[in-house]
């Protein structure tokens, strides 16, 4: 089939908003590149912004080996975070979702702009206002949560919802690579990990985020949030589930899943 990026973006938008699965793009369109996929992502996100959603930040994905292995994609990706994806309370409604999974993350919140190909970890610390424990809800629109690199980028890196804990922390309060995380599902330990799972240290994920954005003419703007990537593998959730995520020294998030 001939490639029309706007029509592919339109197709993804319809599946995202209707919460219906679609077949992988790469099975149906030949020759889609990573650059095409980011352009599809951008066009799709623009649809939401035309309807009033605000761009509130960015997310890195597939920044840990465990996650890369579990989906069979071996490089980090990024996606847009929109105001409409943010949960105000730690309650996740299944409305608008297909087969959601949740994962613990460390979020950075920025006070100043970060851009350019040569950004360093030092620049990131200088620009960071605070760090916040977070949970991301991913929900691939592809059948069986199965995709290739190009598919998942086009689908905005599976973004669906995210929640930031109430309490923010100084970025210097702890070694973020040594923050241990325990995720329980209905009282049973489901996943454990440490910040180092994220590219060795979550700050490296922000450096990578800025470099990738620079390639696409974008930046981290003051006030934005960046989700640095799942610290553990994501777990499937269903109505009635309660997920508790303890971040050592940084409190806990208790997320209730409802219909
Ligand atoms: C892609 C998104 C991965 C993360 O933090 O690694 C992601 C997926 O697994 O669906 O958000
Ligand atoms: Mg994630």
Instruction: Read off the pLDDT of residues 72-107 as tens digits, 9 standing for 90 and up.
Output: 999 999 999 999 999 999 999 999 999 999 999 999
Residue nearest to atom 11 of ligand 1 (CA): 61
For the question of whether the overall pTM of this predicted structure is more than 0.95, the answer is yes
Cβ of 218 less than 6 Å from ligand 1: no
The answer to whether 229 and 76 have CB atoms below 8 angstroms apart is: yes
pLDDT of residue 237: 98
The half-sphere exposure of 153 on its side-chain side, counting CA atoms within 13 A, is 21
Instruction: Read off the pLDDT of residues 168-198 as tens digits, 9 standing for 90 and up.
Output: 999 998 999 999 999 999 999 999 999 999 9
Atom of ligand 1 nearest to the CA of 136: 11
* Mutate-to-test residue for ligand 1 from 61, 74, 233, highest number of ligand atoms within 8 A of CB: 61
Can you tell me whether residue 104 is helix, strand or coil? strand
Instruction: Read off the pLDDT of residues 10-41 as tens digits, 9 standing for 90 and up.
Output: 999 999 999 999 999 999 999 999 999 999 99
Structure tokens at 85: 């994806």
Q: Give the sheet arrangement for strand 91-93, strand by strand.
A: 91-93, 252-258, 242-247, 180-185, 188-194
* Mutate-to-test residue for ligand 1 from 147, 158, 197, highest number of ligand atoms within 8 A of CB: 158
**Distance in Å, CA 134 to ligand 2 centroid:** 10
Task: Determine the Cα–Cα distance for residues 54 and 51; give it in Å rounded to an integer.
Answer: 9
**Distance in Å, CA 138 to ligand 1 centroid:** 7
Question: Relative to the alpha carbon of 141, which ligand is closest?
Answer: 1
Percent of the chain with pLDDT over 70: 99
pLDDT of residue 1: 59
Q: Residue 134 — pLDDT band, cuts 50, 70, 90?
A: very high
Q: What is the mean pLDDT of the chain?
A: 97
Q: What are phi and psi of 159, to 5 degrees?
A: -55, 140
pLDDT of residue 66: 86
**Distance in Å, CA 52 to ligand 2 centroid:** 24
pLDDT of residue 3: 86
- Residue 71: which of 185, 190, 193, 230 has the closest Cα? 230
Atom of ligand 1 nearest to the CA of 230: 5
**Distance in Å, CA 11 to ligand 2 centroid:** 23
Cβ of 136 less than 6 Å from ligand 1: yes
Contacts of 169 (CB under 8 A, 6+ apart): 130, 131, 132, 250
Mean pLDDT of 240-247: 98
* Mutate-to-test residue for ligand 1 from 63, 64, 67, 144, highest number of ligand atoms within 8 A of CB: 67
Print the SS3 string covering 179-212: CEEEEEECCEEEEEEEHHHCCCCHHHHHHHHHHH
pLDDT above 80 (res 236): yes
Residue nearest to atom 4 of ligand 1 (CA): 61
């Amino acid at each position: 089939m001939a490639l029309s990026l706007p029509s592919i973006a339109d197709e993804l938008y319809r599946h995202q908003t209707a919460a219906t699965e679609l077949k992988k793009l790469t099975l149906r369109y030949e020759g889609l590149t990573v650059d095409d996929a980011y352009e599809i992502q951008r066009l799709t996100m623009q649809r939401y912004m035309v309807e009033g959603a605000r761009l509130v930040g960015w997310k890195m994905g597939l920044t840990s080996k465990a996650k890369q292995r579990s989906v069979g994609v071996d490089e980090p990706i990024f996606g847009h975070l929109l105001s409409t994806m943010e949960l105000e309370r730690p309650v996740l409604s299944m409305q608008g979702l297909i087969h959601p999974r949740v994962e613990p993350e460390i979020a950075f919140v920025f006070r100043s702009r970060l851009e350019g190909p040569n950004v360093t970890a030092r620049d990131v610390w200088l620009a960071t206002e605070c760090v916040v424990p977070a949970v991301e809800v991913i929900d691939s629109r592809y059948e069986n949560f199965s995709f290739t690199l190009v598919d998942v980028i086009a689908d905005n890196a599976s973004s669906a919802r995210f929640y930031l804990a109430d309490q923010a922390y100084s970025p210097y309060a702890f070694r973020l690579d040594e923050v241990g995380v325990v995720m329980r599902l209905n009282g049973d330990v489901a996943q454990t990990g440490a910040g180092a799972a994220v590219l060795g240290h979550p700050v490296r994920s922000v450096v990578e985020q800025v470099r990738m954005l620079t390639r696409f003419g974008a930046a981290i703007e003051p006030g934005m949030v960046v989700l640095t990537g799942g610290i553990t593998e994501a777990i499937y959730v269903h109505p009635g589930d309660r997920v508790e995520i303890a971040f050592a020294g940084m409190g806990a998030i208790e997320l209730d899943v409802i219909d």
